[in-house]
Chains A and B, each alone.
Chain A
């Protein structure tokens, strides 16, 4: 025995060394030796490994560990080496250590007591200064499935969740599901950690924590609210696997939080029956995709009940769309399913192209994608119709792919393309692949049932197939023909006759059974042949398959009822044969039929109805796609693929009837918006500062931030301590101010100025009296001011005083001061209540720590974020924008103060007209346009363009409208309403809206009349891409301070001789750009001792229309017409162009 085992030994050793070698044999030997035999070989062999592990040489240890890991990889048992291996857990050599970790993770569960020996090493590792060691210690520790260490793991996870390093936090997120699966009772504590990690702002963590969320507490959708926007915005930078998980989760989230964007459509569908939608969908979706996007809004608006999409819903759709371009098929599929489940019908089309692209990928990918496409084609056929040819089958496709493609082609078939599809099918029938041919014949049958026009063609084709050499083809055809004939049997008795002949040749049971059923069912149509067939069948009855026998009995019974004279004996013969059949089904059937049809004394009442029973009219079978109604499973999911609910599948909820409160998502957003905006700028302007990549920068910032927030004190500005010492409400206000809405913003500034004013000299005060009075009622009406707010007032005043006393030069100090006061002021806003709620739900420590410069910048950006999604449908386009807010009130006042009448609001008289279509090229029609500088009511993000049509021709022009809009991506256009008739010599006006996406790209489109089309384009001057906002001087300065560096562009210039007075400068700047003047009265307020300056500084403020980025313009005049122009704008491109334009305006 020992001799034999040592032989074995040698052989195995050799193999170990050789790496490859003959595996099977060895595996065999070892498995066989599970019992007695190998009991001796194992220790023997492992002894030398143990020796190597015990040696001092790292190289020997390493060699031993490699062999052990190789054993594990091959699935062999190496558990008895545990004690020897675990000793090396603290080994200095990193390679050995790694392999030991690998071993531990695999076997710790089996050797729990010994595994505990290693725990202390990991605990030490958790404290290591190197983040990677911390991470790997946590990774291994959490992978050891030993219940005793659950508390240790819990502690480690909690600690790691607040680690400085995002990588360690990511590992913590990974550890959460591990611990959860080990001990589900920890759920509550783990949810806390998840909640904390969800608030993390790094892309590294986002994917992992959402994965943990999905595994531990997918039902706690409320945890997502606050992080929703952040997740949307970070999405594009998350690694691809995380993207998939996040998108899937957000799909579910959106289904619970938003309204069905197709609600109007579905109402329509219900109202007007199936046929209507059938055509309707075709019309909608046949259009080119680009057009679809543009039109997206239009049909929705035209509907009776206007559906307004939640901006957050839009945000999700917008931010996921670029991911359709991912190289990762899973990401593309995830986005596709998101669009399918969440997007308005007209927008779903964008996913088709990406999905078709995936069809070039590996066959497994094709398999999954085609399954999903098959489901989609049932609901939205039009989407894939343009790609019909992409689903053509190649002979090299695997059969399962072919069958799926057939399915898709069948679903796509309609009256227009059926002939092409049928021609395709004809070539498929010649394929060598029999399963595929069978599937093709089935598909032809389905096309024939679905599309009445081609039913006869299909039937004829199928009948031709009956003479095919291949029996399988014939058999399948018979089965399909049978189904088709059931629809209109009377027309086709010749086909039935033809098929009756086939019974001699066809051996495939299913086909024989089908023929017999047909003959029996329609025996009146073939009265002569039917008895003969029965005769033949009776002869061969005993040799038939069971299903055929059953049909013979059926045929016999039916013939007996209709033609008993000829078939009575035959029937009895058949029934007798069946009586002694081996199969009990057949015996049962025979007995049952005999009782029914053969009248005896005992036969009950039923036999009277035998004829009715057997010869009842059978409804034609409905040939349905197996993918019908599969879309109640979330597309792209395993459950959808299997058409069965998989374990852990999260049901896709139905749309809510009414939208839940959208404000729950409001709380958060700090730097996510910031990064987004930053990204937009960086991406469009990379060439200017290529030194460092935009992505790099972004990442850097993200990494930095948690670092700051963790390290208390030192790095933060001094004020942080100040605000900390404030009451809790003080810190709340910090977060509250971060999201002051558009309306509230102005109130806030007002408040701020009021408190300042109180400190001012008498004359100033007198002036302001009026203002105050005017303000009071407003305040009262809106006042939900808490008493605590009152209490804080004196405090604020004192602070204000402090800031006043401080010199202007101390920029940073005063800046942060004012921001602080501002944040406190914001408490008094109309929205106070909402904000309080939000602020309270926040952990109170957070905002305190966030007091550094960067955060402040974000605050300001936040304002605009909130500003944007409040496009409450304005009723009248003109002036609502201003009168809605309190800006007008205030502005009116400041105007009266400073006697600078038309400057603050853009003077409408100064509008410049541009020519869109010249009288000659337009053949009589001339069109001019101007940027009316009024808010465009249907969409706040659009620039209103006022068009003036003049018909100089002698004849009338009709149906003036626009078509074929060609835009850069992201841009949108709201077309002007069609002008039915423009009589000769008349003039008409219309307003259209264009969202230029803050770029000066031209919008190209065709202007169509009833006879002609003209290509025209509208290109905006950069100054029209913004809208005026009101800022006080302090605010202006604060904002300007945050837009330094590359966001600031300065030019020196010499003013035009005619343009040296204040009025002219203001006039020219506001003509060049749609900005509003910052009242310079406040200039004096700030620094009362200084006499009115000789060389005034003019400030103008605005925001870009689409992204609401601040645009700040300063014109500082100097001696002799010299001046300095400064533009601060995050969008550097806009800034640069604006400088040029203003420069031009001021110097000419």
Chain B
């Protein structure tokens, strides 16, 4: 299926290549570079390209292109999903997925790729299995390695592939047994110019960090599972049990993983925690414009809004901004034309305001676009999913359990 993989950096250098079948010349990437140039923005490169003899499927992650070469029909999502899995794995191993990191660990990455695909078909993609075959580097180990000359390849052969639960390795041991769950809900919203909600929904995710000895079998139940409209699970979750009882029953992978993604059914209108009053105008007559933004809390039910930040993408013609903020700081990046206003904690008594003038070139076209990011700690929405209990079966010890709730802005955007 997947024939070859090329890793390409921002400036168009191929810094890693891996072939699973016969070798394909790098020159195949020229077609990609052509498209890359045409697209201007790296985000706009079509993920699927057709060349006379091959198909190129690429993803853009961490300022890198993962470009795979395909020769025959295959589901494009299959490849895209796999490439993202590769990026995830690299991130999981080394903490980030960047050119520098990959270059520093090129042998490990190459070995990983070798294990992940066999003849172009995915072989082992579970991080737990991979980590048994190729150990991730740690500081301690890298010191030891330089002294003794050994490397990160496991000296015992992995059992994970064969274990009963492919996503969990056998023989896990911890002195502190703990299981943490973060329920993170993101508000996706589009507000129009006047501040009314065009579209809003809540997407949630449960991130788990489970460090438990042995083979624990966990059951997570919710106070209000009816809230869930659409869900997707980590493969460890038992579908049938969910369907019949609305509880999550699973043997967790070891370490960090995403247990579940969900969508909250929006029968009730989503309460937007802040409001924005904004006006931007560009004068027809002179090379300047005015900007005035006020932000205030709304329906936060006593919770404070933290990490409030407003990002404004200005039209190309805006040369500079001369503004004053009553709270927080603002920066204007002249090359990318992005104005960032970092407000921090929202104070309901004194509403933060940003106003001032913009200097522009004469011709102005298009409107700026706002993106807001904000964070609310604690549960705050009415529609928040609440965990009622976590039970463990199959092991005797008592684990430490913790659940944290967080609501933040997802794709939150104000139109102008």
Contacts and interface: CB of A to CB of B under 8 A. Distances in A.
A99 B72 CA distance: 29
Interface in A28-81: 57-60, 62-63, 66, 69-70, 72-75
Given A181-B21, A325-B232, A683 B164 contact: no
Given A94-B153, A326-B235, A691-B394, A132 B413 contact: no
A392 B190 contact: yes
Interface stretch (B106-114, B322-330, B350-358, B376-384): B106-114
Interface in A150-200: 165-167, 171, 174-175, 177-178, 181
B14 A75 contact: yes
A329 B415 contact: no
Contacts of B41: 398-399
A970 interface: yes
Interface residues of B, number: 112
A363 B366 CA distance: 24
Given A19-B103, A244-B78, A353-B230, A695 B251 contact: yes
A74 B15 contact: yes
Main DSSP-derived SS at the B contact region: mixed
Contacts of A211: 1, 121
Given A696-B165, A968-B244, A396 B369 contact: yes
Interface stretch (B47-55, B271-279, B341-349, B398-406): B47-55
A325 B239 contact: yes
A74 B106 contact: yes
A758 interface: no
B320 interface: no
A472 to B, nearest CB: 9
Contact of A368 (B60, B80, B261): B80
A692 interface: yes
B282 to A, nearest CB: 11
Contact of B107 (A70, A133, A174, A687): A70
Contacts, number: 304
A528 interface: no
Nearest to B6: A75
Interface in B242-285: 242-245, 249, 251, 258, 261, 263
Contacts of A427: 192, 415
B232 A642 contact: no
B365 interface: yes
A753 interface: no
Contacts of B239: 236, 322, 325
B17 interface: yes
Given A20-B100, A469-B365, A638-B48, A696 B251 contact: yes
B76 interface: yes
A639 B71 CA distance: 12
A356 B201 CA distance: 12
Contact of B261 (A24, A322, A357): A357
Interface string B53-87: 00100111100000000111111111011101000
Contact of A73 (B109, B165, B219): B109
Interface stretch (B89-97, B155-163, B176-184, B302-310): B155-163
Contact of A327 (B55, B217, B233): B233
B10 interface: no
Given A132-B157, A969-B244, A365 B238 contact: no
Nearest to B156: A94
Contacts of B37: none
B234 interface: yes
A193 to B, nearest CB: 15
B75 A174 contact: no
Interface string A959-977: 0000000001110000000
Interface stretch (A494-502, A597-605, A643-651): A643-651
Contacts of B26: 75
A69 B107 contact: yes
Contacts of B235: 239-240, 326-327
A1114 B257 CA distance: 48
Nearest to A244: B78
Interface string A1-45: 000000000000000000110011001000000000000000000
Given A72-B110, A325-B232, A695 B238 contact: yes
B138 interface: no
Interface residues on A, range: 35 or more
Residue of B80, B148, B201, B315 with highest tally of chain A CB at under 10 A: B80
A686 B72 contact: no
Contact of B162 (A167, A175, A683): A167
B411 A145 contact: no
Contacts of B217: 686, 690, 693
Contacts of A464: none
A637 B75 contact: yes
A775 to B, nearest CB: 43
A248 B75 contact: yes
B22 interface: yes
A367 B46 contact: yes
B366 A430 contact: yes
B292 to A, nearest CB: 19
A143 B190 contact: no
B165 A178 contact: no
Contacts of B333: none
Interface in A317-372: 322, 325-330, 332-334, 353-354, 356-357, 360, 362-365, 367-369
A1109 interface: no
B151 interface: yes
Interface string B360-372: 0001011111010
A684 interface: yes
Nearest to A437: B366
B397 interface: no
Contacts of A842: none
A694 B238 contact: yes
B359 interface: no
A208 interface: yes
A700 interface: yes
Interface in A391-438: 392, 394-396, 398-400, 424, 427, 430-433
A66 B146 CA distance: 13
B300 interface: no
A611 interface: no
B111 A399 contact: no
Nearest to A237: B235
A106 interface: yes
B14 A647 contact: no
B111 A98 contact: yes
A211 B118 CA distance: 12
Given A63-B149, A330-B81, A695-B165, A690 B393 contact: yes
A327 B261 CA distance: 8
Contact of A241 (B125, B244, B365): B125
Contacts of B251: 693, 695-696
Nearest to B199: A389
A73 B155 contact: no
10 contacts: A94-B153, A139-B118, A239-B125, A362-B84, A363-B43, A363-B47, A369-B77, A389-B199, A427-B415, A693-B165
Given A171-B118, A362-B80, A695-B165, 18 more contacts: A20-B100, A69-B107, A166-B162, A167-B162, A174-B119, A211-B1, A327-B232, A329-B80, A329-B81, A330-B81, A356-B230, A363-B60, A364-B84, A365-B77, A368-B77, A638-B74, A647-B71, A696-B251
Interface of A: 19-20, 23-24, 27, 57-60, 62-63, 66, 69-70, 72-75, 94-95, 98-99, 102, 106, 109, 130-133, 139, 142-143, 145, 165-167, 171, 174-175, 177-178, 181, 208, 211, 236, 239-241, 244, 248, 322, 325-330, 332-334, 353-354, 356-357, 360, 362-365, 367-369, 389-390, 392, 394-396, 398-400, 424, 427, 430-433, 469-470, 636-639, 641-642, 644, 646-650, 679-680, 683-684, 686-687, 690-697, 699-700, 703, 968-970, 999
The 7 closest A-B pairs by CB, nearest first: A59-B149, A690-B393, A648-B72, A432-B366, A395-B369, A683-B240, A398-B43
